[in-house]
Amino acid sequence: MPNGSRTEGKEGSIAVYKRGQGRGLLEMARRNAENIFKTERLRAEEPEETLPRLAEKLALKNFPRRIECFDTPNIGGSYAVGSMVTFLAGKP
């Protein structure tokens, strides 16, 4: 295997890349796994825990009771679309 070593076992194999394209892919996989872990952990929290933390991070006097998020992607001007998500008391 170029630029790395491989360990094989009964259940599968693990590739360890030290440089090159394989190293970049492993780093991207690590970041993706970390983001999924953080997202799942936050999803498990109750709004009573999350909203005060959000207020603190945004320097708000009170925590938000209503949050609206808009997305209007620019895809070259044709067939433009948009979406909105609303959270009330921390729940979608």
**Cα pseudo-dihedral 33, 35, 38, 40, rounded to 10:** -70
The DSSP bridge partners found for residue 14 are 7
pLDDT of the residue at 85: 93
Distance CA 31, CA 10 (A): 27
DSSP 91: B
Mean pLDDT across 9-20? 71
Residue 27's pLDDT band, with cuts at 50, 70 and 90, is confident
Give which of 63, 72, 73, 68 is closest to 85, Cα–Cα. 68
Q: Please, which pLDDT band fits residue 20 given cuts at 50, 70 and 90?
A: confident
Q: Give the residue with greater pLDDT, 55 vs 1.
A: 55
